[in-house]
């Protein structure tokens, strides 16, 4: 069974009955291997469609969880269960509960370091005081506002006030959490939270692929929330210096906020400043200062020093990129897509109104970025297979558009692999208007292909 990856969480969804015989087959070593290759922050087994499980069945998963953790330190556990299943799991594992339990997948997303929705008001309750605190700390580090109910009565009373909370968390248990550096996105800035002692482990804990993806898709400001850092050693210093040098290629800024140097040599600060890292006392010194944000590149992603040009390697593979896009859209719509015009130029969109876009980067033997621009109604049509219902919810359409462009990226990867060209794809990014897209691609030359299906036009743009 293959896991489905979304928002940094890979989920296995077995159905029916879980016992020792079936669990062994639901998640094979090969499945685990491909799930860990997805570089997910969490690997979870959803119990939503499981009607029966026993201790032996879950034991198999728990053993696999431990193998996963040894390999990539991801958070592992179960999600999507009711109270009865939760109590059964607590009873089965009692003192050996070293994996996590998330009542729903949406709750798990809140604890994923790749989740992009911030500042949610979250009511938390657990009968275990240390669990309440652990959840609050994790959520706070992820950029949310946790509110702890100290007793069951208080929880029952508070949760009735539905308007006050975006999420309510109960029947949830945090086992060993992933040691990945928590990540959140604020506007055009990415904030990483680092804590305690920063040493050689930082290169394992920091998701460098996510960081590179972010650079590739146009993020230019990266802030390290370092309020809780106690000290750092020379290995961490080297790591951040290298990170800053590679960011400079994209004209990106790296800032540290709240870092104290009473237990870290002050010379480290000077070295980091020499490498281009900026230091600020408070987060708001950056986030509330529009002028500074602009200067640091967070208000616009267009000020790239080195605009890379579209090259021969990319042009040679162009038919594959178009094929991947066309076949994916044909699959999603069951309509024939027609190529109308191909031009090498800056992205040109005459009608900006009511258009949305999504992009995905690829890197490896060749690198670049594919951008799809659709009128909203066409985006909705293209996403109908994934959404199911007819919806006007822009957030859902954009979310689904990201899944669609991810499928296109997957197809590109497969087609290029057939030619022995190895690439990885970045996380998809969506743009709810064309202006925000233009901030990323302004001045970049690329190949623009005008396509249509059922006479509805959309654009494909390939750039570097």
Partner 1 sequence: MITKENIDSFIEKIPPSPKVLNETLSLLKIGELVKAAKVAEQDLALKSYLKNIVNKPIYGFRNEVSDIGQIFGILGVSLSQQSVYNYMVALLSPDKWSLFKLNSALFHELQANLSKRWEAILMRLNIQDDNIYAAISLLPASIIVTEALFAQNKKEVELLRGAKALDYNTILIRLSGVSLFDICEEIAKKWEMPSIVSSIVQAASGVKPSQDKKIDALGKWMHLLLFYKLSQPEFIKAGLNDFIDFQVEYVSDIYDDFALLMEIE
Does 393 bind partner 1 (CB under 8 A)? Our answer is no
Does 26 bind partner 1 (CB under 8 A)? Our answer is yes
In the list 182, 194, 401, 407, the residue contacting partner 1 (rule: CB under 8 A) is 407
Give the pairing type, strands 167-169 and 121-124.
parallel
Does 327 bind partner 1 (CB under 8 A)? Our answer is yes
Question: Of the ranges 17-25, 126-134, 273-281, 363-371, which one interacts with partner 1 (CB under 8 A)?
Answer: 17-25
Could you tell me the end-to-end alpha-carbon distance of the chain, in angstroms, rounded to an integer?
35
DSSP3 helix / strand / coil % (the chain, rounded to 5) = 40, 25, 30
Tokens 């016992």 sit at which residue?
19
Q: Which residues pair with 328 in a beta bridge?
A: none
Does 4 bind partner 1 (CB under 8 A)? Our answer is yes
In the list 163, 388, 390, 420, the residue contacting partner 1 (rule: CB under 8 A) is 388
- Give which of 330, 329, 349 is closest to 448, Cα–Cα: 349
Using the minimum distance from each CB to partner 1, give the nearer residue, 21 or 119: 21
Task: In angstroms, give the least distance from the CB of 36 to partner 1.
Answer: 15
In the list 8, 14, 77, 218, the residue contacting partner 1 (rule: CB under 8 A) is 14
Q: Show the binding pattern over residues 329-348: x = contacts partner 1 (CB under 8 A), - = does not.
A: -xx--x--------------
Laid out side by side, the sheet with 75-79 consists of 4-6, 9-12, 42-46, 75-79, 100-102
Task: In angstroms, give the least distance from the CB of 178 to partner 1.
Answer: 22
Using the minimum distance from each CB to partner 1, give the nearer residue, 51 or 316: 51
Task: In angstroms, give the least distance from the CB of 4 to partner 1.
Answer: 5
**CA-CA distances (angstroms) from residue 382 to 327, 392, 453?**
12, 13, 10
Give the pairing type, strands 182-186 and 189-198.
antiparallel
Asked if 192 contacts 208 with a C-beta cutoff of 8 angstroms, the reply is no
**CA-CA distances (angstroms) from residue 207 to 180, 374, 393, 411?**
7, 31, 31, 24
Site for partner 1 in 43-62 (CB under 8 A): 48-52, 54
Tokens 């970025």 sit at which residue?
369
In the list 323, 385, 435, 443, the residue contacting partner 1 (rule: CB under 8 A) is 385
Does 322 bind partner 1 (CB under 8 A)? Our answer is no
Task: In angstroms, give the least distance from the CB of 414 to partner 1.
Answer: 7
Task: In angstroms, give the least distance from the CB of 6 to partner 1.
Answer: 8
**CA-CA distances (angstroms) from residue 147 to 122, 378, 463?**
6, 41, 45
Does 8 bind partner 1 (CB under 8 A)? Our answer is no
| E strand spans, 177-260 | 182-186, 189-198, 221-232, 253-257
Question: Of the ranges 14-22, 227-235, 292-300, 445-453, which one interacts with partner 1 (CB under 8 A)?
Answer: 14-22
Task: In angstroms, give the least distance from the CB of 339 to partner 1.
Answer: 19
Does 328 bind partner 1 (CB under 8 A)? Our answer is yes
- Give which of 359, 381, 369 is closest to 434, Cα–Cα: 359
Does 21 bind partner 1 (CB under 8 A)? Our answer is yes
Using the minimum distance from each CB to partner 1, give the nearer residue, 15 or 454: 15
Tokens 């140097």 sit at which residue?
261
Using the minimum distance from each CB to partner 1, give the nearer residue, 17 or 227: 17
Using the minimum distance from each CB to partner 1, give the nearer residue, 72 or 328: 328
Longest dimension (CA), the chain: 67
Using the minimum distance from each CB to partner 1, give the nearer residue, 88 or 278: 88
The string of DSSP codes covering 323-343 is HHHHHHHHHHHSS-EEEEEEE
Task: In angstroms, give the least distance from the CB of 454 to partner 1.
Answer: 13
Residues in the chain: 464
Task: Say how far apart CA 288 and CA 187 lie, in whole Å.
Answer: 12
Task: In angstroms, give the least distance from the CB of 19 to partner 1.
Answer: 8
Under the rule (CB under 8 A), what is the footprint of partner 1?
1-2, 4-6, 11, 13-18, 21-22, 24-26, 48-52, 54, 327-328, 330-331, 334, 384-386, 388, 403-404, 406-407, 410-411, 414
């Amino acid at each position: 069974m293959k896991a489905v990856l979304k928002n940094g969480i890979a989920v296995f969804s077995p159905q029916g009955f879980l016992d020792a015989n079936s669990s062994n087959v639901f998640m094979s070593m090969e499945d685990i291997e491909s799930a860990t290759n997805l570089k997910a922050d969490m690997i979870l087994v959803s119990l939503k469609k499981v009607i029966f499980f026993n201790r032996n069945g879950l034991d198999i998963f728990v053993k696999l969880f431990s193998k996963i953790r040894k390999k990539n330190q991801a958070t592992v556990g179960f999600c999507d269960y009711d109270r009865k299943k939760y109590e059964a799991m607590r009873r089965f594992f009692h003192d050996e509960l070293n994996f996590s339990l998330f009542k729903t997948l949406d709750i798990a997303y809140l604890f994923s370091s790749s989740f992009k929705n911030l500042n949610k008001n979250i009511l938390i309750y657990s009968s275990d005081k240390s669990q309440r605190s652990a959840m609050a700390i994790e959520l706070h580090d992820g950029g949310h506002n946790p509110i702890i109910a100290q007793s069951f009565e208080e929880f029952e009373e508070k949760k009735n006030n539905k308007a006050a909370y975006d999420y309510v968390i109960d029947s949830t248990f945090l086992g060993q959490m992933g040691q990945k550096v928590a990540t959140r996105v604020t506007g055009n800035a990415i904030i990483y939270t680092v804590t305690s002692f920063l040493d050689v482990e930082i290169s394992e804990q920091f998701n460098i692929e996510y960081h590179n993806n972010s650079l590739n898709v146009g993020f230019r400001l990266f802030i390290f929330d370092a309020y809780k850092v106690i000290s750092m050693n020379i290995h961490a210093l080297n790591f951040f210096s290298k990170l800053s040098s590679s960011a400079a290629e994209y004209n990106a800024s790296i800032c540290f906020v709240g870092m104290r140097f009473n237990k870290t040599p002050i010379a480290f600060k000077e070295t980091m400043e020499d490498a281009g890292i900026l230091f600020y006392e408070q987060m708001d010194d950056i986030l509330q200062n529009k002028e500074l944000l602009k200067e640091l590149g967070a208000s616009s992603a267009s000020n790239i020093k080195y605009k890379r040009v579209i090259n021969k390697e990319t042009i040679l593979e162009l038919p594959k990129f178009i094929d991947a896009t066309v076949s994916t859209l044909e699959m999603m719509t069951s309509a024939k897509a027609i190529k109308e015009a191909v031009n090498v130029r800056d992205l040109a969109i005459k009608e900006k109104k009511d258009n949305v876009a999504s992009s995905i980067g690829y890197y490896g033997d060749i690198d670049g970025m594919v951008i799809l621009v659709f009128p909203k109604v066409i985006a909705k049509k293209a996403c109908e297979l994934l959404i199911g219902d007819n919806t006007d919810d822009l957030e859902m359409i954009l979310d689904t558009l990201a899944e669609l462009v991810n499928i296109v990226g997957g197809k590109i990867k497969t087609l290029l692999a057939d030619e022995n060209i190895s690439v990885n794809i970045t996380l998809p990014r969506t743009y709810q208007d064309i202006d925000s897209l233009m901030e990323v691609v302004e001045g970049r030359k690329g190949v623009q292909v005008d396509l249509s299906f059922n006479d509805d036009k959309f654009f494909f743009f390939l750039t570097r």
